[in-house]
Each structure stands twice: as structure tokens, then as C-alpha cells.
Structure 1
Amino acid sequence: MQQAPTRDADHLAHIDTVRRRFDDAMAAHEVPCVVIASGGVAQRFLDDIAYPFKVNPLFNYWVPLTQHPDSYLIYRRGETPRLLLHAPEDFWHKTPEAPQGAWTEAFEIESHGEADAMEKALSDLEDAVFLGEQPPEALQSRPRNPEGLLNHLHYYRAWKTTYELDCQREANRLGALGHRAAEAGFRDGASEFELHQAFCTACGHTQNDLPYPGIIALNANGSTLHYDRLERETPETHRAFLIDAGAGYAGYASDITRTYSGGDKGFADLIDAVDAMQRELCDLVRPGVSFGELHDQTHRRVARLLADWAFITVSADEAFDSGLTRRFFPHGLGHFIGLQVHDVGGHMGGPDGRRAPPPEAHPHLRTTRELDTDQTLTIEPGVYFIDNLLDPIRDTDEGKAVNWEQVDEFRPFGGVRIEDDIRVTADGHENMTRNAFNKVQAGG
């Protein structure tokens, strides 16, 4: 079991914050008791092999346990939370280890080896609300996942505690180790599959430990935003490498992207230009800034880059006003990050469930909130040469604004994306990712 790299006092303070947030949400929605499931193990169709277990983030919010399926947390407003751990005596599988650490003092912990004993412990909770996927038989008749309660909880998860920030910093450090190993493999001519293996090994992760399937893309494959093939064959030429991969720690995720040139100076210079743009955008992060406005600022900077690099034949202002930049940068600037890679609450206007949807022109923008201190998010601008976005306009009026000779020269490289995990501070931002790379570089 992973233990958070933080002081015991910070971990206990985090649990106290979670309790207060649940107290407020439960009082607002007249919920006296909640039962939060860790999640179950789902079987594959027509098979006796299970899918990898992924913990319910609301369970993980309370406790740093990511490998305890079929367990439950019971919280009655104002009382000590009860943690019911499923710990069967099993010679087929290893029984999860008993939790340790100062954080356990905040819970009444019970271990149950048999499913019947767990059901009995849950059977008297007639006033409980269930939070999770499939409720156990004892709670089948109870309300599950009420929208109002979840909205209230999700809205406040955007603000991270000291404990959570420490976990995210460690996830970034592990991710930086993986990225360094993958870059070295790229320089040595490895295949995508081998690069993925190098990343996991350096992080100390199996495939199932990763917070999301990594994007390991060589050459033109980098133009597919969620590329997931992992080709085993080594390409003849290593022109470019785009790696979007993160690590996990105590359930918290990092989400990091870097792009490398295989030696072409023009593409290396383009990477540097996108990197400089990304740093400028990070410098704009501070409390009170609208993430939607940051996204607009990104498109203005993308337009300027496209003009400076002669990818377009019109001015930067014309490219921005016409929406031409969306052909080269079709995704959002970033998203909240924490217990989930795409953390909840990005489109929320308040704890009452009011929505702040993305603008029609940018439907893929995952966050529209005004930023505040101790929120964490990604900043990930990019410039891509995507065939199915560019080719349809080649012979159109819109296509007359594109310098096709320059674009075609860069298509074999796929594209560039640079992504860091950012914490909003009182006077600006903390770049957890670049700090992690610096720490790894220094041997930490």
C-alpha cells in the first residue's frame, strides 16, 4: 500500500477537510448517512478473468487505499467514519494488507473475510445513501448517487489540501522519471512498445497502475490526439516522439506531455516555439483568471505562431477570427487534475449544480471555471498536422489561407504538445511538472 509523502498532521488535516465538505453537502441535501463503495471487480464477458480494478475516487478521497475492492466507507454526519475492509482468506489471490499509518486513527476500521459478514454490517443502514456503481444486496433499496449531493462534493474537490498537493507532486516526480527513461529510449531508436515499457519500469508501475493509458507516438502518429496503438515494429526513421503519459501516487494522477525531435532542426525549433508559448500561458495562471479566457489567449498565440512559421497566408488576427486555428489546435487548453486525470467539476458554476458549459466554438474545453488558489490543472497547448482536419479544406476558400507546402513539410512529424501540471498559488502558479523534472535531473 502506498503511503503519501507528507506529514501525518497534513494527512489528518486532509481527512478533517473531507469530513467538513461531506458534512456541508449532506446537511444541504438532508442526507444523514452515506455508504461509499471502493468498487467491485468486474468479470470479462464469457470469461472467468476480471478486468483491472479501479477504485472509486470518492472512496479514495477519504483513504489512500487503491487496491481494496468490495470495501465500504460509512459516514454518518458528525461521527467517526467506519471503514469496512474486505479481507478474504484466499489461496487464489493475495489478501490486501491491513492499512497502516497515522491516518488510520481517524477511522473505526473493521476487516471482514466473508461477504455475508460485510452484508450484515451494512444491513442496518436504513437511512443511508449509496455512492458508487453497484450497491450490495443490503443497500439495493437505498437512494444511489443523488445528483445534488454529488454536485456539491464535486464542486469543492477542485480545491486541493496540502496532503493532496504532496501526492500530486510525487506523482509528477514518478512521471518525470518515466519521461526521462522514454526519451532515452527514443534517442536509442526504440519502438513505441519498448518506449511504453521503459516508461512503466522507470515509474515502478504496471500497466494497471497507470492513471490513464499513455500516448506513445512516433513520427506522424503524434497527429492522433489519443493515439493508443503501441507499434512493435521500429520505424525506419525516428523523426519525432510525442509522449503523453503520467504516473499515479496514492490514487492521485500526473498528466505530462513532451515532444522530441529526432534530429531535424526545423522541428526542434517548432518544439521550442510551442514550449515558449506554453510557459507564457503558465505565467498567466493566477486566482481570478477565467480558464475560458486562457483558452482564447492560447488560440491567439497559436495564430501568431502559425503566421510566424508561415503555416498560414493570412494574419494572426484573421486566423483567430475565422477559427482557422482550430484546424491546428482542436482540443482544450487543459483540465482539472487530482484523483482523476480529468478531474470533476470543470463545468460547474457552483455547488448547487449550476453549469458553466464550454462555448459552442470550443466544445472540447474541459474547464470553464474561474481559477482559485490551490486548484490544480493542466496547461497543454499544441500544434498538429492532422490529415482529417486539414485535407477537407485544401480546395476550399478556407484552405486558401493555408500554406500547404509548409504544412506538408511538417506532416511526417505529426505535431507538438507540451503539458505541465499546475497549482494555482496566491500570486501566480507552481509548476509541479517542471519542478519534478528539475528534481529528477538533480538526482532526487
Structure 2
Amino acid sequence: MSTEYRSLYADHVAEMRRRWEAALEAEPFVAVAVHSGTPMVAFQDDYEYAFRPNPHFLAWLPLTRHSDSVLLIVPGERPRLFYFQPDDYWYLPPADPEPWWADHFEIEVVREAQAWRSSLESVLASHDLAADRVAAIGDSPALKGVFKPETTNPRGLVTRLQVARTRKTPYEVACIDAAARKAAAAHVAAERAFREGESEFDIHLRYMAACRQSDTELPYNNIVALNTHGAVLHYQARDRELPADVRSFLIDAGCAVNAYASDITRTYSKEPGEFANLIEAMDEVERDLVGQVRAGLDYRDLFIESHRQVARVLADAAIIRVSAEDAVDSGLSLVFYPHGLGHFLGLQTHDVAGLIDNEGNPLPLPEGYPALRLTRVLEVSNVLTIEPGLYFIDTLLESWRRDKDASMIDWDRVEALKPFGGIRIEDNVVVRADGCDNLTRAAFEAL
């Protein structure tokens, strides 16, 4: 990691201490322990699922493979880390703590998965901290017996910490930017594989090879979709065989750096023509929506605007026989664009606190649009996605044909375009006072 990252990390830890100490002061707790998590074993098996640490732990530490470690936060003191490093010959244990991050913590290495318990209890006793005043955050069964249920994942404290995570530190933005740059290079490799006639499975392998990350290291399951598979919003299969007639390619794929995710989608047409023209029109829509992002913007308003713009694309292409305004008012635009415009991005691909205000109160969804992941007024240093889509989804189209005014759609046009699946274009942006930084476009331009 570069010297720049180290400097940013020091400032990040200082900001984290301020945020967490303020959250503790507002709640009835004098300290908080954060458990990194314990690997889960498949039912009646000895095989462990891929381990994903507690994001509250990752907010402090770039330790993406470290189970059974505990971070203790006591206001006014350096954070204390009980670092699990077993003497093991079955599996590779974690390496020794690296100075660039370790210098900001008091670290005690523990060799057994539960050894942190006695060490933590000794620290709490030496500080005269009552157990019922110490909160615990984590989902691990290891917390049972040490912390009471009422002090484990207390809603008020967790909500405050989640809201704080919506405002990214410079270190966090730098990690997401680095993840975007990794992903952009891998997207270029994936497009090349598509042009060369590779299958979904082989395109996925080319993507991972380009970014040097495995399935379990990626922030989410890559969506690698040829033809009609592009109409399955979270398409999870990766066909080994190539379709007889390849028409289109949609890829939704990111990378992770220090646990921070990028989330990028691009769509390509095999040949010039009507679908390629639709992709170009949707790219213009996406760029225009990104251009409207700024602090103080209600994301719900931008979402409604995205429906107006997608509806205009549909009307201009004569896919629908009504005006864009009528398509939005009637709900017809939802048939072709059934998901939200985007979401917060960070330690989790769909990052937290997108549907609540700064006090933790639920924010109402726009009437008729139940699928949103973000309803907040944007603030400086929010990081989020902008990802409008246009799809030809049999289930939604047939439901409209059966239950609504079928004459509003040109069905011959739809049938001609259905084999192409759909279009989604997605960028990752950082909110600024007077606009935003588009990390994704910058990453592609830098290649």
C-alpha cells in the first residue's frame, strides 16, 4: 500500500474514533466490542462457507480474512485489537500485523478462537467497566455468554454508526476509487472476451484474471449475461456453452480494495443496429443523471427523473405508443425499468442507511415505486451508484398485456428486441457540494 494510503488511513482512524465516541456518548454505553465474525459451516458438513467479516469491524481495519478477532473501543484510549493468529498447519494463518495499520492500535495476539474472552474480561475489569454498559456488535455465537442480549447489537448505537458510514472519509473514497480502477481494467478484458466469442463462464474467468481477484474476493457475484440473460436483473448462472446466435452482453461486476467495493455495469451489442442505438441512448441518460448529482439533491427526485428519461428513450424508439409522461403516469415505464436508480456503496455493495434519515427514521418511498434502496437527501462525501436500466422481461410484459392497456406497447418492436435481453449502465460517484466525481468514467479514461 502506498504512502498516500497510509496517511489517509491515519486520518481515517482518527475520524472513526470521533464518530464512535460521539455515538457512545449519545447512548447508554461506555465502550463497545466488535467481533469480526466466525466462519459458518454448511449443514451436516465440515465445509465452511466463504468468510465475510463484520462490516463494522472492516470499517476500522483492512482485515478481510480475519475471523474470531475483537476490537474494543473505549473513549479516550487507543482502540485495542485482540488479533486471532492461530498456530495452524491445516490452514494458512493470518500474517503478522502490518505497521501501516497496526501502529494505530494496541494489539494483543491470541492463539485460540475464544481466547479473546478472558483478555477482554481482564481489560474491562481493569477499567472498572460494568458488563451491562459495554455494547457488542456482531452476529457470532461467540458473543453469547460474554455479552447480554440487550447489549448486543443495540439498535440505537448501530443506527448511529450506520448513518455515520454514509459519509465516506478520504481513505474510504480512495479505496473505492482503487476498486473502480481494478474493475475498469477487468471490464475491458471482459468486453474483449465477448468480442472474441467466449462463453459467459469464460468471460467471467477472464474478468477475474484481469483484476486478480477470485470469486470469494469479489464484492458480489458477477452478473455475466449474454442475450436474454440480460433481462434477469440478478442473473446468477454462467453458461459454459455459447448461444448459437450471440447478440448482446451485459456485465455487472466490481472489485474490492481493503473490503471497499466498486460496482460497475456495462452493456454491449454484438453488431450495430437498433439495440446498439438503444445502448447509446441509455448511456446519454446515465451521463445526464450523473450530471445532476450534488449535495442537497433528494435522490427520490432523481429517481423519478430517471423514469421520465427512460420513458423518452422508449417513446423515441417507438417501443411504446404513448408519450413519456403517460408512460410514467400509468406505470408503463416500470415494465421496462423495474428497479431503483442506485444505492449507497462502500463496505457493502448495497451499503447501509439508504432508507433512513440521520435520526434513523424511515424515509417514505415514492408512491408506486417499492424497489428503491436509497431515499435520502444527498450529502457531501456520500458514495453511490447511478444505474438506469431498460429491459425486455417476459413476466412484466405479459402481465401488462394481460391486465393493462396492451395497445400502449408496440409488440412487434418488443418481440424484435427481446432476444437482446436488456441494458444497464452503472457508474460510481462521490457527492460534492456543487456536483460529483465520477470514479468509474475516470477509471476507464485512465486506462
TM-score, normalised to structure 1, is 0.96
Q: Which deviates the most, 64-73 or 140-149?
A: 140-149
Paired with 1:410 and 1:5, the residues of 2 have a C-alpha distance of 51
Question: Structure 2 residue aligned with 1:273, among 264, 267, 281?
Answer: 281
Which string of whole-angstrom CA distances, capped at 9 and with x for unpartnered residues, describes residues 240-292 of structure 1?
00000000000000000000001142111110000000000000001111000
Structure 1 letter corresponding to 2:441: R
Question: Structure 2 residue aligned with 1:436, among 429, 433, 443?
Answer: 443
2:25 is the counterpart of 1:27: yes
Q: Which deviates the most, 395-404 or 15-24?
A: 395-404
Paired with 1:268 and 1:178, the residues of 2 have a C-alpha distance of 22
1:336 match? 344
2:183 is the counterpart of 1:183: no
The answer to whether the Cα contact below 8 Å between 1:240 and 1:261 also exists between their aligned partners in 2 is: yes
The answer to whether the Cα contact below 8 Å between 2:311 and 2:328 also exists between their aligned partners in 1 is: yes
Paired with 1:400 and 1:370, the residues of 2 have a C-alpha distance of 38
The Cα shift of 1:152 comes to 0.7
Paired with 1:260 and 1:181, the residues of 2 have a C-alpha distance of 13
Paired with 2:112 and 2:305, the residues of 1 have a C-alpha distance of 56
Paired with 1:312 and 1:4, the residues of 2 have a C-alpha distance of 52
SS in 1 for 2:42: coil
Q: 5 Å matches for 1:40-51?
A: 40-51=38-49
2:219 match? 211
Q: Which runs of 4+ in 1 moved over 4 A?
A: none
Paired with 2:323 and 2:118, the residues of 1 have a C-alpha distance of 70
SS in 2 for 1:58: helix
The answer to whether the Cα contact below 8 Å between 1:186 and 1:238 also exists between their aligned partners in 2 is: no
1:96 match? 94
Q: Which deviates the most, 388-397 or 331-340?
A: 388-397
Paired with 1:317 and 1:137, the residues of 2 have a C-alpha distance of 56
Paired with 2:314 and 2:40, the residues of 1 have a C-alpha distance of 47
The Cα shift of 1:397 comes to 4.2
Structure 2 letter corresponding to 1:294: L
1:299 match? 307
Q: 5 Å matches for 1:402-421?
A: 402-421=409-428
Question: Cα–Cα, structure 1 residues 293 and 430, in superposed 2: closer, same or farther, change >3 Å?
Answer: same
Question: Cα–Cα, structure 1 residues 172 and 15, in superposed 2: closer, same or farther, change >3 Å?
Answer: same
The Cα shift of 1:396 comes to 4.6
SS in 2 for 1:210: coil
The Cα shift of 1:293 comes to 0.2
Question: Structure 2 residue aligned with 1:129, among 122, 129, 135?
Answer: 135
Q: Which deviates the most, 5-14 or 28-37?
A: 5-14
Question: Cα–Cα, structure 1 residues 317 and 115, in superposed 2: closer, same or farther, change >3 Å?
Answer: closer
SS in 2 for 1:238: coil
Paired with 1:9 and 1:195, the residues of 2 have a C-alpha distance of 37
Root mean square deviation, CA, Å: 1.3
SS in 2 for 1:344: coil
The answer to whether the Cα contact below 8 Å between 2:177 and 2:439 also exists between their aligned partners in 1 is: yes
Q: How many residues align?
A: 437
Paired with 1:204 and 1:345, the residues of 2 have a C-alpha distance of 31
Paired with 2:82 and 2:259, the residues of 1 have a C-alpha distance of 19
2:64 is the counterpart of 1:57: no
Q: 5 Å matches for 1:137-176?
A: 137-141=144-148, 143-176=151-184
The answer to whether the Cα contact below 8 Å between 1:336 and 1:378 also exists between their aligned partners in 2 is: yes
Which string of whole-angstrom CA distances, capped at 9 and with x for unpartnered residues, describes residues 109-137 of structure 1?
11111235322112344242110002435
The answer to whether the Cα contact below 8 Å between 1:35 and 1:73 also exists between their aligned partners in 2 is: yes
Which string of whole-angstrom CA distances, capped at 9 and with x for unpartnered residues, describes residues 88-120 of structure 1?
000000110122133322110111112353221
Question: Cα–Cα, structure 1 residues 4 and 250, in superposed 2: closer, same or farther, change >3 Å?
Answer: farther
Q: 5 Å matches for 1:1-400?
A: 3=1, 6-124=4-122, 125=124, 126=131, 127-134=133-140, 135-141=142-148, 143-350=151-358, 352-400=359-407
TM-score, normalised to structure 2, is 0.95
Which string of whole-angstrom CA distances, capped at 9 and with x for unpartnered residues, describes residues 362-385 of structure 1?
111111111111110000001000
SS in 2 for 1:314: coil
SS in 2 for 1:242: strand
SS in 2 for 1:6: helix
The answer to whether the Cα contact below 8 Å between 1:290 and 1:368 also exists between their aligned partners in 2 is: yes
The answer to whether the Cα contact below 8 Å between 1:119 and 1:138 also exists between their aligned partners in 2 is: no
Structure 2 letter corresponding to 1:419: E
Paired with 1:176 and 1:5, the residues of 2 have a C-alpha distance of 23
Structure 1 letter corresponding to 2:138: G
